[in-house]
Amino acid sequence: MMRIKSLAKVATKLLIDADTFLLYCIAVFSVVIFAFSYSFPQEAARFPQAVSVFTFFMIVLEFITRYKKKKKIEAEDIAETKEGKESKDQQLEKKEVGINWLLVLMLVIVYYLLLKPVGFYPVTIVYLLISPWLLGYRNKKVIILTAVIATITVWLIFGRFFYVPLPMGIFG
């Protein structure tokens, strides 16, 4: 009986959550972008190299922050275990987060499928309005402001500064 419990703990520790998996994927992607940028002309390589180094640095900081938080939570859990309770709210919250991540993943797929037919701007605004809500953020003013400002910023940088044509869909 004791051996089964210890095996379950090891298996749980080996599994990673969706956030961590995504961070690993982005870290690998930034390393690949950095490596591929050496095939670009020297002037053109600077921007992707800078972005990939910055991204990798931010991911390392995120892992350090998570490690510190985990140690703090483990210390609190040990204290709670001595008291012998984990609330049902905490258990329910863990299940909801997993379901919400699946919904966000489905939302990303829908975003991708609607990008060309509907257009970048309306689909991006809708995506940026729905995804924070699915992840549990409820401040409507901040969500709306972020969606609009992020979309306008992307339009200014890519549409006006770099002259990159974004999918126009029904507006093009």
Q: Contact 123/154 with Cβ under 8 angstroms? A: no
List Cβ neighbours of 163 (8 Å cut-off, separation of 6 or more).
none
Segment among 58-62, 83-87, 100-104, 124-128 with least mean pLDDT: 83-87
Opening angle at CA 74, ends 57 and 85, nearest 5: 145
pLDDT value of residue 10? 47
Between residues 35 and 21, the one the model is more confident about: 35
Q: Is 126 exposed, middle or buried (0-12, 13-18, 19+ CB in 10 A)?
A: middle
3-state SS, one letter per residue, for 122-144: HHHHHHHHHHHHHCCCCCHHHHH
- Which pLDDT belongs to residue 8? 45
Could you give the CA distance from residue 149 to residue 7 in angstroms, rounded to a whole number? 48
Is it the case that residue 167 has pLDDT exceeding 60?
yes
Q: State residue 58's pLDDT score.
A: 92
Could you give the angle at which helices 42-83 and 18-36 cross, rounded to 10 degrees?
Answer: 160
Check whether 47 has a pLDDT greater than 50: yes
Q: Is residue 144's pLDDT more than 70?
A: yes
Q: Is 160 exposed, middle or buried (0-12, 13-18, 19+ CB in 10 A)?
A: exposed
In the Cβ-directed half-sphere of 65, how many Cα atoms lie within 13 Å?
Answer: 8
Radius of gyration of the chain (CA): 21
Specify the residue for token string 């489905």.
106
pLDDT on residue 127: 94
Q: Which residue has the higher pLDDT, 142 or 137?
A: 142
pLDDT at 13 over 70: no
**131: Cβ–Cβ under 8 A, 6 or more apart, which residues?**
104, 107
User: pTM, whole model, 2 decimals?
Assistant: 0.55
Confidence of residue 66 (pLDDT cuts 50, 70, 90): confident
